[in-house]
Amino acid sequence: MGNKIAHALIGNTAKRGTWIGQTDGKLPTYEGPIPVAEVERRLFNWEAISVPTGNFIPCEPDSIGSIMIDGNYYMPKVTTGRQGIVRSDDFSELGRPTTAYAMHDYKVWLIRKVSEMLGSTLSILSALTLKNGAQAAVEIGLDDTMHDDTTGLDFWPFLLAKTSLDGSITTTYEAFNRVLRCDNMFGGISRDAKNAGRQFKVKHTARSLETSHVAGFREAMVILDQSAHDMQDWIQTMSGIQVPRKNWLQVLDIIEPPAPAGSTAVKVTKTNNRRELLDSIYLGQGELGELNGPFAGTAFGVVQASNTYQHHGVGVRGTSRLERVYDRAIRGDLAASDQIAVEALAKVLDMPELAMA
């Protein structure tokens, strides 16, 4: 497992139909929920180890304690206040946080703590590690999907449990919804999910290892139910707002502006290609348009088109699409993109109440 690609398990494929990463190669898939034991065996089958860290300083060959690397002599010097975190299976380095940084074991913080709260209702939809194991996330949902009669959409409310071993991510439990026809993730239907009670964070401190967070975990679990109702209300509201063609083109100018005057021919071409792809997705044309659905002419269609483009349309280089999508979900970029689309709608339609509050 010690390489730099994402390692993922994809669950509930019988209900999802399509899924992010389906074209990235052979990933382990499961028709139903992923068993906890499978996640621990296939993804979290190693431990994170804290070790002293530092640098090798050039020195004379006869220096006591020196070592030779590539024909040169160095003296190890430990960096005070820092720790190295390495994998137990291949000892590859994951990060160098401060010594005050408390590691959150993936098996404990992404599975067991949530499992204790949800009990038998736990269903693992997907699980993955990123950046050679420096980051990890698990999608945890209830046993079944929800259906919206207004749009005909089926969606799956889930909790994205995410953390890191390199200091890049605070351990977070955040509400998302997955639209099954396209496998799009919608997060942050509210601008401030934390204040709305749909996000719970635990910092990597020594105190986080105590049991005092149990009450917080229990409170955080209600976000699954609340998120489902929020998503359904939001879909119905947005699908009922008409967006004439001219207004969609104004929104398009905001979320994917035309190339500035004086741009090179290459830049103009690339920009126009992105705009044309977004427009075709919105209109329900082509393969991605089919994924997006027949929602052109509505506010929901605008946000859905932007979301589909971010998941399936943006070019990917040097990584897999699955890794790119989850990296952006973990960093909050997908939710921010949805927010930009809604705020563009609010401006163009002169409906400030649409903006995510």
Q: What is the mean pLDDT of each run of 10 residues along the chain (357 residues)?
A: 62 80 74 90 94 95 90 95 96 94 93 72 86 93 84 89 92 88 76 54 75 57 77 91 97 96 95 96 91 89 93 82 86 88 95 77
Find out whether 340 and 333 touch, Cβ atoms under 8 Å: no
The whole-number pLDDT of residue 216 equals 57
Specify the pTM: 0.84
- Copy the structure tokens of residue 137: 């996330």
The whole-number pLDDT of residue 356 equals 56
The whole-number pLDDT of residue 192 equals 46
- Calculate the CA 263 to chain-centre distance: 33
Find out whether 127 and 139 touch, Cβ atoms under 8 Å: yes
The whole-number pLDDT of residue 230 equals 86
Find out whether 39 and 9 touch, Cβ atoms under 8 Å: yes
Strands (E), the chain: 7-10, 48-58, 67-69, 72-87, 93-95, 123-130, 135-141, 146-147, 154-164, 171-179, 184-187, 199-202
Q: How far apart are CA 258 and CA 277, in angstroms?
A: 13
